[in-house]
Amino acid sequence: MLLSSKPRTGTSAPADRRKTSPIAPSSAPLFLLSFRHRDELASIAAGAGWQVVAARRAGGGERRFLSCGAAVAVVDARGATAEGIAATAALGGAVEANGGALLTLVSRGENASITALYDAGATHFLASPFSDAEFLQALRFAARHAERMAREWHTGAVFEPLGWRYTIADRALVLTPGLAALLACPERPTVRGILGLLDRDDRVAAMAAFRRMTQARSATAFAHDFDGVGRIVQHLQFDPVAGKIDGVVEPLGSTPEPAAEVREALSGARDAGSARRWITRHLGEDASAPLHLLLIALNRFETVNTAYGRVAGDALLRSAQTRVNDAVVEMLGRDALVARMGGSTFMVATQAPRLRVDLAAERIAAALTRPFVSGDTIAVLGCRIGLAEAGPQDDAARLLRRASEALAEARESDSATLRVAEAYGGGATIDRLAVELHHAIERGDIGILFQPQVAVTTGQIVGVEALARWQHATLGTIGAEMLFAAAQRADLEIGLSDHIQQLALSLAANWPETLGELRLSLNLTAADIARPGFADVFLDRVDASGFPRTRLTLEITESGLIEDLGIAAALLSLFRGAGCRTAIDDFGTGYSSLAYLKALPLDYLKIDKKLAQDITGSPRDRIVVRGVIDMARSLGLTVIAEGVETPEQLEGLAKEGCQIYQGFLCAEPLTEEALVALLARS
C-alpha cells in the first residue's frame, strides 16, 4: 500500500533484518564483480535465491553480464576505487542500453567516488559497513528499478494496476498482484507492517490522509518518494456504506509528456526511454522490412573526460551525436532514429535494407574516426559498433541485448570496428561489403573519375584530382571515403590503394593530346605512409606507367599525419626530390595543426570544402579563411580551395588570394571523355 525509499532508523539489527529481508526473484540471474570479496558476496546473494555469475577480474565483464541475461549488475569498488570506476564505465553502457540496474559498493571513506561512479553508469549505491540484509535490500531495490525499466519498454501494453483495498470491519488489507509483486510483500500484509516501512514524515502524511476522509469528503491523496520509481501518489477513496477504503498507486511521470510525444513523432526519439518505446512500436507493426539496430560506443571517451573535465566531455558528446546524425541522414534518410543511450553510447534504428545499413555503419565509423576539437583540446576517439537485425522472436529488450553483445565483441577485439549479431545468436564480423569489395577489385568494378582544378585568375583548367568510384549494383555510386573504410576493415587498404594508383596513372599516361598539360593529383593513405619502402615502390609504378613525375602531385590528408608526422615528412621529401609535388589535403577539418605546415615539405595547401564555403559566412568565418590563406601564401604554398559551388564563394576566395579551386561550380568528377569535352568547350 505505502512505499518508501528511506530506511528506518532506531531499530535493532535483528528487527531491521526481519523487516527488510527481500524476496529475490526465483533464480533471477545476477552479475557480480568484486575484486576482493567475490565469494562472500556471491554466497549471500545465492542464499537469497539469486543465480549468481561472479567475477574477480574486470576483463570481459560486459560480455559476461550480457550473456548471463542478468538485469542487475553489482560492482564492488571497496578498496579498489579506480578499478571499480573503470569496471562501472565498462558495464554502464550495456546496463543502460538494456534497461538494467547497476549497484556499486563503496567504502565509507570513499563516498567522494560516488559522483564518478554515477557518471560512469551506476544507478544504485551502498556504503560499507553494511549487513547481509542491507546488501540484499539494495539488490531488491535495484531489481525493482530494472523491472520498472522493463515495463517502460512495453508502452501500450495492458499492465496490472497498482492498488489496494482495506476493509474496516475485519481490518483486512488486500493488494493487487502488481503491487504485491512490486513490494515483495508477505501473503497476508498488515497496515501496521507496511506503515512500519515508512519513515516518520511519510507515516505522518499517510495518517493525515486517512483522517481527512469522511462521509462528506470521501476522496483524498498524498505523495512520497519510492526508490526505483521516483515520486508517487496514493489516491484514496472511502466507501462508508461498504466500509472499505480503496487505494490506487500512481507513479508520477508514467504518463508521457505531450510535448515529448509530439517531438518524438515529428523528429525521432533522442533519449533512451523514448528510443525503447520507438523500437517496441515498430516491432509490433507488420513491416515489410526487418528492423536493424546499431549500438555505437566511443573509444577512449572516459580518458578524455577524466583528463579534460566534464565540460570538454559534454562538448565531445554533442559533436559526436551531430556526426552520427549527419551520417544517418545522408545514408539512411530522416526516417531512421538516432538516440543517446547513456554515457558515450548511441543507437541508430532503421528499416533500411541491410546493405544500406552496413554502408551507414561504415560512414559513422569514418565520421567518428576524425579527431574532435573542444576548446584547445584535440581528441582522437574512434568507435566500436554492434549491429543486430530483428528476428520473429525479438522484443525490444532481446534486440537491444543482442546488439549489446555484438558491441561487446567489437570492444574486445583488437581490430574489428563493427560486429553483427546473427539471427540465431553469436556474433560475426560485418563482412558483406568487404567480401564484395574484394571481388570488385578483381573484376575491375572500381573506376576513376577526374575533378578539374581551375586557376582562379584565368579560369583555365590546370589539373585534375583522381577520385575512386565504385558503381555498386544495389547501393549505386560509393565514393572513396566509404571505399577505404570498408577496405580498412577487410585488410584490403593497401590492395585498394595500389589498384587506384595503377589505374589512375595508366589512364593519365594515355590521355589524348588535349589533356597533355594537366597535372594529376593522387591521394596517399595512412597505410601507404606506414609501408616500408613505399617511395621506391610507388616511383617504380609511376615510371612504369609512363606518366611524367613532374606533372604528378601527391596529396596526403591530415588524418594520415597525426601519428606519423616524422615518417610523412621523410616520405614527402623523397617524392619532392624525385620531381613530384606535394600537398596537404582537407586542411581545416577541425583539428588543423601549424606543426604540419612547419614540418612538412609542401607545395600546395588544399582548404577543406567546409572551411572554403565559410568565405560567405559570418565575419568571423571570413577572418578564419583569410588567416589560413595568408599563412599558406606566406610559407610559399599555392592555395587550392575544395568544394566551391557558387560564384559568391569563388569571388570571396579570389579576393583573399586563393589561386586554384575545384568543385561543382566548374564540374563534378568526370570521366575522361567528359573531361575532354569540357576542355574543348573551355
Q: What are phi and psi of 494, to 5 degrees?
A: -70, -45
DSSP-assigned states of every residue in 228-258: TTEEEEEEEEEETTTTEEEEEEEETT-SPPH
Residues of the chain with confidence (pLDDT) below 50: 1-24, 26, 154-159, 228, 253-269, 424-431, 562, 590-591
The helix or strand, by DSSP H or E, that contains position 318, with its residue range, turns out to be helix 310-332
The helix or strand, by DSSP H or E, that contains position 320, with its residue range, turns out to be helix 310-332
**pLDDT of amino acid 215:** 64
* Sign of the CA dihedral with 354 first, then 360, 361, and 362 last: positive
Q: Where are the alpha helices (DSSP H) in 6-131?
A: 13-20, 38-47, 61-68, 81-97, 114-120
CB-based contact 596:371 (threshold 8 Å): no
Residues in the chain: 682
In angstroms, the CA 102 to CA 97 distance is 12
Angle at CA 104, nearest 5°, toward 99 and 110?
145
In angstroms, the CA 80 to CA 361 distance is 37
Cα 88 off chain centre by: 17
* Sign of the CA dihedral with 342 first, then 348, 349, and 354 last: negative
Residue 511 grid coordinates: 590521355
Judged by phi (left if over 0) then psi (alpha if -120 to 50, else beta), residue 348 lies in beta
Cα 77 off chain centre by: 26
Residue 215: count other Cβ atoms within 10 Å of its Cβ: 8
C-alpha distances (whole Å) from 337 to each of 334, 397, 645 are 8, 17, 31
